[in-house]
Structure 1
Amino acid sequence: MRGLMIAKQRRGLRRVEVERAPRLGLLRPTPTGFRVTVRLHDGQTPDDYERVLDKLAHAWRVHSVRLVGWRPGKVTLVATMTDPLETVAGGHSLADGLLRVRVGRLDSGEWFVIDFRKVPHWLNVGATQSGKSNLANALIAGLAPQPVALVGFDLKGGVEFTPYQRRLSALATERAECARLLADLVGIITSRMALCRQHRVKNIWHPRLPEEARPTPIVVLVDEVAELFLMADPKAEKEEVAAVATRLLRIAQLGRAFGIYLVVCGQRVGSDLGPGVTALRAQLTGRICHMVNDDETAKMCLGDMDSRAVAAARQISADRPGTAVVLGADSRWHMERSVHVTEEEAEAAAEEHAELAPSWALLTGGPAIEVADAEELEQAVDEFAAPDLEDLPV
């Protein structure tokens, strides 16, 4: 009897072969190539196609093939005929709406847009001459004409952000100054918490918050983040480094709801800098990895998201400055190349829109704001959850 049941089961099962040619749907043209939907055979998954994209590109005689979406039983592939990152033109304006900047092109041919309302905090790493500073220039040029406050942390003694100082509301060039500025930012968060409680809303973008009461968004640009954590004399500097790390982490954890956004840049970012860096990395959802000189930095930037992105980042050539692997709102990695924005162009934008920079005294609200203690901020994490995208203005 048992043998009969097993025989019936065997007849009911179909043979599954994963390595089978794809069943292609209609080819639909795109500006840079074509899009096609592939029906999966029994036993196949999207990962099976992720692993053979390079083989498909060679077989189809195209520059690259990317998997851009899937649903049960189907995957969508996009083929690019030529390299869209060979030359990247910026156009007339990089600004693309409030807190949105078109900083480059993706390998799909679409714009790479940094949208702080969708992805509030970014980690941007890259070696010297890799294009890391150029992307910061593009951000400054794109944010300068917008009604936002810009704050700079320049641990190279001010040489990176001083040319744009007239558009900055505050600039810190030493770690002690950064600690004080971070304390002010935590104080701003505290005051904005009170504003949101007063109007019974969870974030400053909520429609119930009157427009005249809505505070100015603040974008914080941090250059050479490693300098915030390095200690030449641990005994003398340990307390200052701990204060900087704690405040920066609090801003990353709470800033989104209250309109404070981070762009953290560095040539090298590794776990050897201490647990504060690893904890901060976890709060920086957006990742941009240019050419780097070591595996650790690429892994720190991309490794917790996608190991294939790490491999792609390590293959970036030095003769393609501005090229990077990015992870953004769709949680998929892409190759990107930034628009070339010179220091002179970014400085001109900062000078032209210098009158839009609110004073630091205005942002901090006049009288000195006390830094909230750890218990108060921990309670605020629970009270003010990350805002829903539906709350954001169109």
Structure 2
Amino acid sequence: MSSKSALSVVALLVVAVLLVAAPMVRERYPRAWWYAVSFPILWVRIRFTWRQLAWECDLAVTRKRAHAMIGGILVKGKELDPVVPRLHVGWPRPFSVTMRARMLPGQTPDEFVDAAEAMSHAWRVHSVRVSSPARGEVEFTISARDPLANITAPGALARRKHHGRPWFGVSVSAELEETPGAADAAKLLRVFVGLLEDGSPWVLDLRLLPHWLITGATQSGKSTLMNAAVVELAPRPVALVGIDLKGGMELGNYTARLSALATDRPAAVRLLGHLVDVVLERTVQCRVAQVRSIWDLPEQIRPVPIVVLVDELAELYLATDPKGKADALACSTNLVRLAQLGATLGVHLLVAGQRVGSDLGPGVTMLRAQLGGRICHRVTDPETVKMTLGDKFPDAVIAAQSIGPLERGVAITTTNEGGWMRARSANIGAEQAQRITTDYAHQRVWLPGLSDFDRPGGKTS
């Protein structure tokens, strides 16, 4: 056998081994495969198709070339001279990459949004999200695969005890912390609940967005999201207070960890009224200490943060008799006061509901204005989507309405950076949440006045 034939045989063997081993390596080490193989291929594909793609999707700007004089004769230049925006590809992240392009004169971000679907097909990726972070620029977030397809891991602290190594870590070193209290707030109030569409952790940061409105129809994933948030908060020195006017059917799973639970409207009136009194007492405490936040107080006298969980907001407002209407108005007023005053005083709201509309009463619109964080799962009426997202991100309304019945846990959420994104919460069922919160029952915070509520029935003792 000649040396050339031997080299051919060796080459064929190497190719065969690679063809057999490649699927195994890709399945076992997906992240390494992405960085070593998939991303370079995607980068080449983008570079070689961008000009033609921009031309076909009307993202190119045509201009006339200057006329030229040849031998004293005016010669008209080429009529079409297409110019396409120049792409700048950023560093890849796990299974995603971000690109930026500077728009040409006359272009708007809407033109690039309309072309996003064509880009995802041309580049053979799962999705392309287009946003405009600065004037004159568009940003493409390219997801090579659906990061929300399978989310089974619960939050960081719950995994630490029940499932081994934590999936997400809490890190505050990357942020500028001015005081020790700010660092403590970062550890306590950053709640990891799932994944964002770009593959990064989905964080409800109660420091940046102190209050959240969560909407979603039955079986849309709203309760799963609440489970994920409570499981994350259960091991922390935080008081959890529940209001569930469906007889405690949802929040009753967390009874062992709750400092108080109201399951009827009169109990909710008393509970919310007491929370308002707590907030007013904290304002006096901060004023005497000459600080503007409880996190600026010394740790020895700093009051514990309180997270108020409200399930089914509509039940607070729907009333037929005069007494019920008066209680509903009191609940609405106190919720608005808590939202207005509680941000720097350690009181935070997670308000959930199947339907939220202006027809429930004027207090709903007033309360929504104070809830800066918004999460919208699949809903059954357009009014709820508009109430949740329409006032902040009108373009997110269409994305929320496209969530299908089989996409449980998928939601449109506001992000800490000021935009919106698709996300999916960790898959934590009611039984798992009940087991974990029971394990952390010793962390239940006793608060004077609040802990006097009989948690299962919502009555005062």
Place the TM-score, normalised by the shorter chain, in its bin: 0.7 to 0.9
- Give a deviation string over 1:69-102, Cα, whole Å, max 9, x none: 6335433322111111110132562574312221
**Residue of structure 1 in register with 2:406 after alignment:** 319
- Secondary structure of 2:259's match? strand
Q: Is the 8 A contact 1:137 1:341 kept in 2?
A: yes
**Cross-structure match for 1:261:** 348
Counterpart secondary structure, 2:294: coil
Match of 1:179 in 2: 269
Q: Which residue of 2 aligns with 1:229?
A: 317
Rounded to whole Å, the distance in 2 between the matches of 1:275 and 1:143 is 32
Structure 1 distance, partners of 2:268, 2:349, is 14
1:307 matched to which residue of 2?
394
Answer whether contact 1:100 1:116 (CA < 8 A) is retained. Answer: yes
Cα 1:100–1:190 shift into 2, 3 Å: same
- 8 A Cα contact 1:99 1:146, kept in partner: no
How far apart, CA to CA, are the structure 1 residues paired with 2:143 and 2:380? Answer: 29
Residue aligning to 1:192: 282
> Contact 1:94 / 1:103 at 8 angstroms: preserved in 2?
no
Q: 1 CA distance for matches of 2:385 and 2:230?
A: 25
Q: Residues of 1 paired with 2:255 and 2:155: CA distance?
A: 23
Per-residue deviation, residues 282-304 of structure 1 (Å, max 9, x unmatched): 10111111110111111111111
Question: Is 2:29 the partner of 1:29?
Answer: no
- Structure 1 Cα separation of the partners of residues 380 and 274 of structure 2: 35
- What do residues 325-346 of structure 1 show as CA deviations (whole Å, max 9, x unaligned)? 1113222111111100011221
Aligned to 1:145: 235
Separation in 2, partners of 1:34, 1:226: 41
Tell me how far apart the structure 2 counterparts of residues 362 and 280 of structure 1 sit (CA, whole Å): 25
Q: Following TM superposition, by how much is the alpha carbon of 1:38 offset from its aligned partner in structure 2, in angstroms? A: 1.2
- Per the alignment, residue 249 of structure 2 pairs with 159
Instruction: Structure 2: give runs of 5+ residues left out of the alignment.
Output: 1-66, 68-79, 159-169, 171-186, 453-461
Equivalent of residue 126 in structure 1, options 199, 210, 216 = 216
Matches within 5 A, 1:1-394: 21-26=84-89, 28-67=91-130, 70-90=133-153, 93-94=156-157, 96=170, 97-206=187-296, 209-233=297-321, 235-361=322-448
Q: Secondary structure at the match of 1:167?
A: coil
Give the corresponding residue for 2:3: none
What is the Cα deviation at residue 164 of structure 1?
1.3
The amino acid of 1:153's aligned partner reads I
Partners of 1:33 and 1:166 in 2: how far apart?
A: 41
State how far apart, in whole Å, the 2-side matches of 1:255 and 1:170 are.
Answer: 18
Pairs aligned (count): 346
Higher relative contact order, structure no. (Cα contacts within 8 Å, ≥ 6 residues apart): 1
Instruction: State the AA in 1 paired with 2:317.
Output: F
The TM-score, its normalising length taken from structure 2, stands at 0.71
Change (3 A) 1:121 1:217: same
Read off the aligned partner of 2:265 and give its amino acid letter: R
d(CA) in 1 for partners of 2:141, 2:273: 47
In 1, Cα distance between the equivalents of 2:395 and 2:259?
A: 39
Residue 88 of structure 2 aligns with an amino acid whose one-letter code is G
After TM superposition, give the deviation of residue 362 of structure 1 in Å.
6.9
Q: Is the 8 A contact 1:100 1:114 kept in 2?
A: yes
Q: CA deviation at 1:214?
A: 0.7
RMSD (Å) for aligned C-alpha atoms: 2.2
- Distance of 1:133 and 1:151 partners within structure 2: 16
Counterpart residue type for residue 290 of structure 2 = R
| Residue of structure 1 equivalent to 2:41 | none
Tell me the amino acid that sits aligned with residue 129 of structure 2.
Answer: R
Q: Residue 91 and residue 245 in structure 1: after superposition, are their counterparts in 2 closer, same or farther (change >3 A)?
A: closer
1:384 corresponding residue in structure 2: none
Q: CA offsets, 1:45-77, max 9 Å, x none?
A: 444433432232233222111235633543332
Aligned partners of 2:408, 2:316: CA distance in 1, in Å?
26
Query: Could you tell me which amino acid in structure 1 is paired with residue 432 of structure 2?
Result: E
How much has 1:274 moved relative to structure 2? 0.6
CA 53–130 in structure 1, closer or farther in 2 if over 3 Å, else same: same
The Cα shift of 1:180 comes to 0.2
Note if contact 2:260-2:450 (Cα within 8 Å) is conserved in structure 1: no
| Residues 17-38 of structure 1 deviation map (CA, whole Å, 9 limit, x = unaligned) | 9x96332124532211322221
Larger radius of gyration: 2
Aligned partner letter, 1:28:
W
CA distance in 2, matches of 1:52, 1:191: 55
Q: 1:277 to 1:128 in 2, by over 3 A?
A: same
Please report how far the alpha carbon of residue 308 of structure 1 lies from its aligned counterpart in structure 2 after TM superposition. 1.7
Change (3 A) 1:222 1:23: same
Percent identical = 47
Work out whether residues 305 and 346 of structure 2, in 8 Å CA contact, stay in contact via their aligned partners in 1.
yes
Of residues 100-109 and 146-155 in structure 1, the stretch that sits farther from structure 2 once superposed is 100-109
Determine helix, strand or coil for the equivalent of 1:201.
coil
Letter in 1 for 2:339: A
Deviations 1:129-173 (A, max 9, x none): 100001111111100001100000011101112221110000000
What is the TM-score normalised by the length of structure 1?
0.83
Q: Secondary structure at the match of 1:310?
A: helix
Q: Which stretch shifts more, 350-359 or 262-271?
A: 350-359
SS of the residue corresponding to residue 448 of structure 2 reads helix
1:210 and 1:80 map into 2 onto residues whose CA distance is: 45
- 8 Å contact kept, 2:100–2:137: yes
